[in-house]
Structure 1
Amino acid sequence: MTGASGSIGRRGLLVTGAASAFTLGSVSFASAADSSGVDETKTVRGTLPPGSPDFVYLPVEVPRGVRELAVSYTYEKAVVPAGTQNNALDIGIFDERGTELGGRAHHNSGFRGWSGGARTEFFIRGDEATPGYIAGPVRAGTWHIALGPYTTAPEGLPYAVTITLRYGPTPATPAPVYPPQRAKGRGRAWYRGDCHIHSVHSDGKRTPAQIAALARAAGLDFINTSEHNTYSAHSAWAGLWGDDLLILTGEEITTRNGHVVALGTDPGTFVDWRYRARDNRFGHFAREVRRAGGLVVPAHPHATCIGCNWKFGFGDADAVEVWNGPYTVDDEVSLADWDNTLVSGRSWTPAMGNSDAHKDPDPIGTPQTVVLADDLTREAIQAGIRAGRSYIAESSKVSLTFGAAGGRGLHAGIGERLPVDKDAPVTVRLEVTGAPGCTMHFVTDQGTLFTSAALPASGAGTAEWTTTAAYAAYVRAEVRHAPVVPGLPGPFAALTNPVFLGR
């Protein structure tokens, strides 16, 4: 059965031009008393013009007695001139509690799932839902299918959405089982983690079981589940954690003006993403992340994908992802941009690195953040990241020790300050293992002031350099492979957060 057209008229766009959302006409079904237990299906077709709001809502009037709601959709690609973006349409859904811009899932948000452009169909039922979506009763009321026209061709984006209601008793919803907040650990030690990973619960292809196995094989101590705009994976790790692997829960908040990893939020936390930098709402949602016990980490801030480049500034960030996946030029730009913020030393944002792995052959743990923490717990790992007591390595094969020493037995490690007089001599020392053929570098607020010879085939080596706080406001270390692209530095093997010098 085909419903009325779901097109947005030009006049409608003018009326709602200042809004970030538009609501189409509603889709109604027979009441449960009239359905006789027969599935009902309706299809809505329409065209979204260029300049459509970021989110277009299709209301669905759900009667009582619905056991399962299923949705599928299609949209047409256009013939576009070279260099012009073609159509791309995301999808998600909100239940009868509404679509109001909100915070946490258990605080009156109607969020029930999001798959972006990764799926063409999904279902929600009391006992189960498509990955990316939240199982639970299909209650009576007005639900809203959320369409997100990511990019639109000049002639518009034709779409068709098919909704099927299946009637019958509502299956019981199992209580979610979430990962524990601690693993056995080794007391105060360096712990390796990858905090930006995708599974089948967003646009990844791996199951949580496959990711857990790869994390262990990569020598990781902790991971953070970070699906695009959904928390459905938080309860998908039962049986996969252990004394050797701490699993944190989070979200990759994926807006049209950049992505941010919510790292280690309370399980079941939903953080909204339906805003741009011009809406001046990011500070509110950064506070929501922290209220839920998480860290705010802008992801791949200089990535070149549409909507990926970070536009919100770093005033609300707890750390920033300067190295995302196997080394590319945008990592170099992210590193340089971050380095430019370090000179004050009083209020600085630590760096971290994560794999952003989605599918084979994306390696889990390339790179990984190595954190000095008091224990292998959510709180301790987050404290280490927030304090900058960490370095980034391309794999668990690479280890380093880095610090600075001054007179009278003073010493400062990564993320710390060495409180010396400005003219007092300071010795900076770096020890590296697992980096054959790489060079070691000391970088200050003035630039790279020391470069070693290439490390031997054993991959181990030590570098020392003497400076003063007057000459270097901070020193950080880089370990790099030989250059691959003419005119560019070699890819990273490891890099550290800074040691600050001076009082």
Structure 2
Amino acid sequence: MCNEEEHAGHAMARRGLLVTGAAAALTLGTVSFASAVPRDSGKETEVVRGTLPPGSPDYVYLPVEVPSGVREIRVSYVYEKPAVPAGTAGNALDIGIFDERGTGLGGDGFRGWSGGARKEFFIRADEATPGYIPGPVRAGTWYVALGPYTVAPQGLAYEVTVTLTYGPTPERQQPVHPPERAKGRGRSWYRGDCHIHSWYSDGRRTPAEIAALARAAGLDFINSSEHNTHAAHAHWAKEAGDDLLILLGEEVTTRNGHVVAIGTDPGTFVDWRYRARDNRFGHYAREIRRAGGLVVPAHPHATCIGCNWKFGFGEADAVEVWNGPYTPDDEVSLADWDSALALAARTGKRWIPAMGSSDAHRDPDPIGTPQTVVLADDLTREAILDGIRAGRSYVAESKDVSLSFSATGGRGRHAGIGERLRVADDDPVTVRLEVTGASDCTVRFVTDQGVLHSAALPGSGSGTVEWRTTAQYAGHVRAEVRHAPVMPPLPGALAAFTNPVFLGR
């Protein structure tokens, strides 16, 4: 039945504010179904309308009393988008759902999230809309989750329609996940893209399309990283193969920055409903690591609302310095990371490796631009994550660009990317970079003092650059390969860069 008038009074004045210890949330009045049809067949529908004012909490929950005998739950929503003055954010409303197990942070109740990518979704035992978790629609109080991302000065007027379909519960399919190893080449350099979106969140490509593009881009591994859902994990197995390792993860999209969980156990869900002030990020970072994954803040200086990283880097295993085609915010991220390297070199404290990923969503976003090239013992989940964590990696704009970077000292001492060359402060050190596939580019050697050596590559894009230094003069050295500048004296866009080699004892 449709009972719009009864539920039209969901205004802010009638809601109770729930302070949960994380981002504040509101719970609306409960929607009940009045059994207007026999419970063994047919459908029931309820419509709820309301308005959220500016300054609304991050999440608003609409409880729905689901009776027994429900085969499928279907939710759709619309909201008004009034005109706003220039420079003022308009309305944007995200949506998801939790089942009868509740909305507690990190709990078992999560059943899906599509953000603003979809206007409707369904869940039943055998199937669900991409971004949502199939499974039985059990009796109890479910919660439609609304996320007012931005609210116009006029408020955000919304309408939510919930439809229950009764009937026998379909048989649930057991999920199948991709294997944790591919054929590999033993200890070698492997290329990967760890930040990609499919139609299981706000992307437009299927897993099959992404896998084909990954192979064409010369990638050896990719990571499933949908926004705030692990729903894609069960849909990658048939795309894996001897030539492509598929890791499972999530892009955890909070209101104070995004973090990519890389290589977690299948079915791992990481909650995102908190801000930096809630002091919850450390807990969920540790949850990612307990699930075998890496914690990687994404595009830390991106300019979109909620994208700029506010949690600090104490829990990070690596940081995504380069995100998609190179832009000014990547340059800021690189400079910020470079400053952190100088601090690590000076104090001897832990340093955080850098990586790059495409963050590709749809055509024409290229998969594998950029890509992280990792020295790993084999093409396995464990070996790839070990290589990223240790910083044995560089970032390249495409499969065409390859680097070999090292430092050598007396008595045959040698160190590669991510390692330390243990020499006395005044011992001579030779830094060497071999490059292929970077035509019309310039090599720069960057230290804790800044750029101390640069050299143009031949027109072919292949060449070797060497530089002599000491550990006293340079605490660490990393290499950059840059395109010609567009606006001198600002540097050109990156074609590639390495993690550092540290010098000294």
TM-score range, shorter chain: over 0.9
Partner of 1:68: 72
What is aligned with 2:492? Answer: 490
Distance 1:11 1:131, change over 3 A: closer
For residue 457 of structure 1, report the CA deviation from its aligned partner.
2.8
Distance 1:364 1:308 in 2: 21
Q: Deviations over 1:213-248 (max 9, x none)?
A: 000000000000000000010011132110000000
User: Counterpart amino acid of 1:100?
Assistant: G
Q: 2:57 and 2:322 mapped to 1: Cα distance?
A: 32
Counterparts of 1:207 and 1:94 in 2: how far apart (Å)? 25
User: How much has 1:89 moved relative to structure 2?
Assistant: 0.2
TM-score by length of 2: 0.96
The residue type equivalent to 1:411 in the other structure is: H
Q: 2 CA distance for matches of 1:32 and 1:495?
A: 65
- Residue 381 of structure 1: aligned partner: 384
Match of residue 424, structure 2, among 421, 433, 442: 421
- Once the two structures are TM-superposed, the CA of residue 36 in structure 1 deviates from its matched residue by 5.3
Structure 1 position 7, deviation (Å): 3.2
The one-letter code of the counterpart of 2:299 is H
CA deviations 1:412-468 (Å, max 9, x no partner) are 000000011111111000000000100000000000011102x22321011000011
User: Structure 1, unaligned stretches of length 5 or more?
Assistant: 103-107
Maintained 8 Å contact 1:403/1:414: yes
Q: Distance in 1 between matches of 2:40 and 2:377?
A: 61
Q: CA RMSD in A?
A: 1.5
Cα pair distance change 1:271/1:52, threshold 3 Å:
same
Structure 2 vs 1, CA of residues 17 and 211 (structure 1 numbering), >3 Å: closer, same or farther?
A: closer
* Residue 353 of structure 2 corresponds to residue 350 of structure 1: yes
Q: Which residue of 2 aligns with 1:478?
A: 480
Measure the CA separation in 1 of the matches of 2:122 and 2:223: 26
Moved more, 11-20 or 66-75: 11-20
CA distance in 1, matches of 2:300, 2:9: 36
TM-score by length of 1: 0.97
User: What's the secondary structure of 1:452's corresponding residue?
Assistant: strand
The question of whether the paired residues in 2 share the 8 Å contact of 1:438 and 1:482 is answered with yes
Could you tell me how far apart the structure 1 residues matched to 2:20 and 2:155 are? 17
Q: Are 1:461 and 2:463 matched, yes or no?
A: yes
Shift of 1:485: 3.4
In the TM superposition, what are the counterparts of 1:24-43 in structure 2 within 5 Å?
Answer: 24-31=28-35, 34-35=38-39, 37-43=41-47
Whether 1:88 and 2:92 are equivalent positions in the alignment is yes
Cα distance change of structure 1 residues 16 and 250 upon mapping to structure 2, 3 Å threshold: closer
Amino acid of the structure 2 residue aligned with 1:474: H
TM-fit CA distance, 1:76 = 0.4
Q: CA deviation at 1:35?
A: 3.6
Indicate how the Cα distance of structure 1 residues 6 and 175 shifts in structure 2: closer, same or farther if over 3 A, else same: farther
In the other structure, the counterpart of 2:189 is 190
Aligned residue number for residue 402 of structure 2: 399
Partner of 1:100: 104
Letter in 2 for 1:67: R
- How far residue 80 of structure 1 moved from its aligned partner, in angstroms, is 1.0
Q: Distance in 2 between matches of 1:497 and 1:325?
A: 18
Q: Which residue of 2 aligns with 1:105?
A: none
Residues 127-182 of structure 1, C-alpha deviations (whole Å, 9 max, x = no match) = 00000000010000000000000000112100000000001000011000000010
**What whole-Å deviation, never above 9, does each CA across 1:345-401 have from its counterpart, x for those lacking one?**
330000000000000010000000000000000000000000000000000000010
Deviation at 1:34, TM superposition (A): 4.2
Q: Distance in 1 between matches of 2:424 and 2:234?
A: 52
**Structure 1 residue 484: Cα displacement:** 1.9
Please say if 1:271 is aligned against 2:270.
yes
What does residue range 73-472 of structure 1 map to in structure 2 within 5 Å?
73-102=77-106, 108-343=107-342, 344-345=344-345, 346-453=349-456, 455-472=457-474
Residues 485, 202 of structure 1: alpha-carbon distance in 2 compared, 3 angstrom cutoff: farther
Alpha-carbon distance in 1 for matches of 2:16, 2:278: 18
- Aligned-partner Cα distance in 1 for 2:247–2:323: 19
* Offset from partner CA, 1:164-201 (integer Å, 9 cap, x none): 00010000110000000100100000000000000000
Q: Whole-Å Cα distance in 2 between the matches of residues 55 and 489 of structure 1?
A: 42
Identify if the C-alpha distance between structure 1 residues 227 and 4 changes in structure 2 by more than 3 Å, giving closer, same or farther: same
**Rounded Cα–Cα distance in structure 2 between residues aligned with 1:499 and 1:445:** 11
3-state SS, counterpart of residue 93 of structure 1: strand
Q: 1:137 to 1:349 in 2, by over 3 A?
A: same
Deviates further, 479-488 or 2-11: 2-11
CA contact (8 A) 2:319 2:353 kept: yes
Do the aligned residues in 2 keep the contact of 1:6 with 1:24 (CA within 8 Å)?
Answer: no
Q: Specify the code of the residue in structure 1 equivalent to 2:468.
A: T
CA distance in 1, matches of 2:93, 2:125: 27
The separation in 2 between residues aligned to 1:12 and 1:164, in whole angstroms, is 23
Give the direction of change, closer, same or farther, for the CA distance of 1:186–1:15 in structure 2 (3 Å limit). closer
CA distance in 1, matches of 2:235, 2:306: 28
Compute the displacement of 1:9 (Å). Answer: 2.2
Tell me how far apart the structure 2 counterparts of residues 187 and 247 of structure 1 sit (CA, whole Å): 17
**Paired residue secondary structure (1:408):** helix
Instruction: Give yes or no for contact 1:13–1:52 (8 Å, CA) kept in 2.
Output: no
Provide the C-alpha distance between the structure 2 equivalents of 1:185 and 1:332, rounded to a whole number of angstroms. 33
- Tell me what 1:47 maps to: 51
- The 1-side partners of 2:40 and 2:210 are apart by 44
State the alpha-carbon separation in 2 of the partners of residues 11 and 445 from structure 1.
Answer: 58
- 2:504 counterpart residue number: 502
Q: How many residues are aligned here?
A: 497
